[in-house]
């Protein structure tokens, strides 16, 4: 993985791309960083029975809902969803795609952060698919307003896939706090912890 962290932190105004210092100053804390134990997380990921349990552990670690975690595996030039389950049969994303953030993450091998994701050009077809449990009386937000994306790269520098953490909401304020650069660095650590997990590089 590239050692330089690529950050695209889109804040309140369209076409405004702050530098790293500005991003850190503008963003609100999203995690209790003292409690982000990457070694413990790595152990739980290695013991997980499959993608769903892995992503449940990641959701807990980042303080988001399970359906705010997406895990994709790279297969023959295509990124295929391993989680959420509703998207596993919804198609795949070519890494040549110019509109998919996951594809850009895989190609550049850099982590990315967007705190006003709706103004970013992206493939939003997957947001139209409702996760299970969203047909009850209490509607759940489907629109992604804030997103972090990181490549999963093995020790041989091979890209295995992409992990994404998002905040969904009915509008930007309801989506919760901004992701910070610390959150992004934690996601990079989580992506490294995912690399040895068996199903990332083998069929299961």
Residue 166 in this model has a pLDDT that exceeds 70: yes
The pLDDT tens digits for 12-59 are 333 333 333 333 333 334 444 446 788 899 999 999 999 999 999 999
What is the structure's pLDDT at 122? 65
CB crowding 28-45: b at 16 or more within 10 Å, else e: eebbeeeebeeeebbebb
Question: Mean pLDDT across the stretch 178-203?
Answer: 92
What is the structure's pLDDT at 127? 60
What is the structure's pLDDT at 66? 92
Residue 10 in this model has a pLDDT that exceeds 70: no
Domain ranges of the chain: 36-201
What percent of the chain is predicted at pLDDT more than 70? 72
Mean of the per-residue pLDDT values of the chain: 79
Q: Which residues pair with 166 in a beta bridge?
A: 147
Question: Mean pLDDT across the stretch 78-89?
Answer: 90
Strands 159-169 and 69-75: antiparallel
What is the structure's pLDDT at 91? 81
Tokens of 119: 């103004």
Question: Mean pLDDT across the stretch 83-103?
Answer: 89
CA distance 197 to 199: 6
pLDDT band at 204; cut points 50, 70, 90: very low
What is the structure's pLDDT at 36? 78
The pLDDT tens digits for 104-128 are 999 999 999 999 998 887 666 556 5
36-201 in CATH: which number?
3.30.450.40
């Amino acid at each position: 993985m590239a050692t330089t962290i690529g950050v695209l932190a889109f804040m309140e105004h369209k076409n405004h791309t702050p530098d790293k210092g500005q991003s850190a100053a503008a963003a609100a804390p999203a995690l209790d960083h003292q409690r982000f134990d990457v070694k413990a997380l790595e152990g739980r990921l290695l013991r997980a029975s499959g993608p769903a349990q892995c992503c449940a552990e990641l959701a807990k670690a980042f303080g988001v809902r399970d359906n705010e975690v997406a895990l994709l595996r790279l297969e023959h030039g295509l990124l295929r969803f391993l989680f959420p389950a509703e998207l596993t049969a919804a198609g795949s994303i070519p890494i040549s795609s110019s509109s998919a953030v996951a594809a850009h993450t895989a190609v550049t091998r850099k982590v990315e952060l967007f705190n006003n994701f709706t103004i970013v050009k992206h493939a939003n077809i997957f947001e139209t698919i409702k996760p299970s449990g969203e047909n009850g009386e209490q509607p759940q937000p489907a629109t992604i307003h804030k997103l972090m994306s990181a490549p999963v790269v093995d020790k041989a520098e091979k890209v295995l896939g992409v992990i994404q953490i998002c905040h969904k909401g009915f509008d930007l304020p309801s989506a919760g706090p901004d992701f910070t650069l610390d959150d992004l660095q934690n996601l990079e650590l989580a992506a490294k912890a995912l690399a040895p997990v068996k199903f990332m590089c083998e069929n299961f």
